[in-house]
Amino acid sequence: MVALPEVRVEESRPTKQRPLEEWIRSHSEQALIRSRREGQIVLEPVSGHGEDALVMANTIMEEMETEMAQARFLRVLPRPSTLG
C-alpha cells in the first residue's frame, strides 16, 4: 500500500462544516483544496507527499471529529504470472 498525496474529508453536519472550513483556511500553507462538492472536500498536501496526507487526515479526525477524513491509498501487487 502506498499513501497518495490526497485527503478526502466528508462532513454533512452543518454545525461541523463551518469549523472545518476555518481549519482548512488556517492551514492553507499546508493544504490545497483540489475539489469540493456538497459534504466532501478533497485536499492535497502542499508538500506533495503521501506521508503528509496521512498526518493531515489523522489531524483532521482528531481535531475536527469529521465524519470521515482519510488519505487515499494505492495498493501495489506483483504482476500475476502468465506462465503456467
The structure's pTM equals 0.85
pLDDT tens, the chain, 84 aa long: 999 999 999 999 999 999 999 999 999 999 999 999 999 999 999 999 999 999 999 999 999 999 999 999 999 888 887 666
Strands (DSSP E) contained in the chain are: 2-10, 31-37, 40-45, 68-74
Beta strand ranges found along 11-84 (DSSP E): 31-37, 40-45, 68-74
Domains parsed from the chain with CATH numbers: 2-74 (3.30.70)
Q: Angle at the Cα of 83 (from 81 to 84), degrees rounded to 5?
A: 115
